[in-house]
Amino acid sequence: MSDASDSSLGPEVEEFLQATKLEPGTVINRTYMIRQLIGAGSFGSVYEVYDLRLKRIVALKTVLTRFDSIQAQRLKREIELIRQIEHTNVVRLYDFGEDPSGILYMVMEFIEGKELGEVMREEGPFDLQRTLAISTQILDALVQAQKVGVVHRDLKPQNIILTREGMRSDVVKLVDFGIAKTYSDASVGPFGQMSSTMGFGTPLYMAPEQIQGTRVGPYTDVYTVGLIMLEMLTGAPPFHGETAIQILSEKTSWTPEIPRNIVPPPLAVVLEKAVQMDPKDRYQSARTMFLDLHGTGLLGPLSGVFEVPKDADPDFHRSGTAATVDIGDASTHPRIQAPEVRKTMQMGREEL
C-alpha cells in the first residue's frame, strides 16, 4: 500500500513523522511487527502490524512525542477511559504503551472498510433510510462513550468507517477516540493556539464552543452528528466557506438552515435542535437525540438493546419506546460496494 500521509501537514510535522517512521519488519516491544504504513497525520502515524503473541493483524498508532509530561499523563488517562468503551460500532482499543525509544503507541482493532466521506463523494446524497441507519449507529456508539465520560470531539466523515459484517452492510465503526477528552475536564485552548493546527477538531465539523475555547460536552458531538446527517441527505456540508477561517467565522455567527424541501418535517425538527449554535439549545446527550429520532416515526421496525434513557427530552412528544435500528435489514438502505482499500485509525487528518 502506498504511503497515505496527509499532504496538508506542515513542514515541522512532516519532518517529525519522517524521522519517526517505522520500517516494515520493525518490532515494537517484542510484540508488534510492522507490516506497512496505513496513514499519517498531525497526531502520528498508523500502521498495519502483526501481533506476535496473539497471532492476529491489528492497527498500531504512534503518537507524536512532542507532548509535555502533563499532556502525556492526560493522554494516558483518556486512553484508560477509551478502553472501557465496548461497542460494536467503536473500534476496539487493545493496548497502549511506550517503546524503549520513547514512541507512544496505541494498538487497536484492524478494520477493513471505506470512510463515510469517501462513500459520500462516490455515491452522492444518501436516501433517508440509509442516512438514519448510519446515524443511529453513530449515536448508539456515542451513548456508550458518554456513559464512561468520554466526548469524541473530532467526529467527521473521515473518522466514520463503513464496513461489512456477513450479510450486513453500512456497519459503522467510529475511530479516532484517541484525542477524545473526558468532559469532567473538557475545554480547549484559546482560538489563537487552536487555529494553527486544529488539533482537537476539523473546521467543517467543529462545534462553536470548540472554536471559542469554551467548555465542550456530549452536546458537542450531537452538533457534529447533526452536521453529518445534513451532509448525507444533501450531498454537501451545511457551511460553505472557502477557507478554514471563513468556516469558523460562519459557525460562530449563525445556525445552519435545514433544507425542508429535502428533509421530512419531523426530522427537520430534530436536526434543527441538534445544530443550534448555542449548546444550551441543543440535545444534551446522544441518548435524547436518538429518542427524538425514533419519535419521528421514520426509523421503521426497531430491534436491539438500546436502553430507553430516564433523561429523555421532555420537549418532544414520542410515540415509540426506542431500541437500535436493525442494520442487518438489507431492505432499509443500499449496500455499499466491497472496500477497495483498507482503512483504519487515521488520526489527525486536517481536512476541511
**pLDDT band for position 201 (50/70/90)?**
low
Q: What is the mean pLDDT of residues 332-337?
A: 32
The amino acid at residue 97 is G
What's the pLDDT at 310? 46
The answer to whether residue 107 scores a pLDDT higher than 90 is yes
Supply 203's cell numbers: 473546521
Q: How far is CA 77 from CA 43, 74, 119, 121, 189, in A?
A: 17, 5, 34, 36, 19
The answer to whether residue 223 scores a pLDDT higher than 80 is yes
Supply 44's cell numbers: 502520528
| Contacts of residue 246, Cβ cutoff 8 Å, sequence gap at least 6 | none
Beta bridge partners of 60: 47, 107
Sign of CA dihedral 88, 297, 159, 114: positive
Measured in residues, the chain has a length of 352
| DSSP for 182-220, written as a single string | EGGG-----HHHHHHH-TT--GGG--HHHHHT----HHH
* Distance separating alpha carbons of residues 200 and 220, to the nearest angstrom: 12
What's the pLDDT at 325? 32
| Contacts of residue 168, Cβ cutoff 8 Å, sequence gap at least 6 | 327, 328, 330
Give the HSE-up count for residue 324: Cα atoms under 13 Å, Cβ half-sphere.
21
What's the pLDDT at 64? 67
Smallest CA-to-CA distance from 168 within 342, 339, 336 is with 336
What's the pLDDT at 331? 33
Q: What is the mean pLDDT of residues 55-64?
A: 89
Point out the least confidently predicted range of 8-22, 63-77, 97-111, 316-330: 316-330
Catalytic residue IDs: 154
Considering the chain, what is the average pLDDT of its residues?
76
Contact 204, 352 (CB under 8 A): yes
Structural domains present in the chain: 11-109 (3.30.200.20), 114-295 (1.10.510.10)
Q: What is the mean pLDDT of residues 66-95?
A: 80
Place of cell 525509544: 101
**pLDDT band for position 67 (50/70/90)?**
low
* 186 alpha-carbon distance from chain centroid: 17
What's the pLDDT at 166? 75
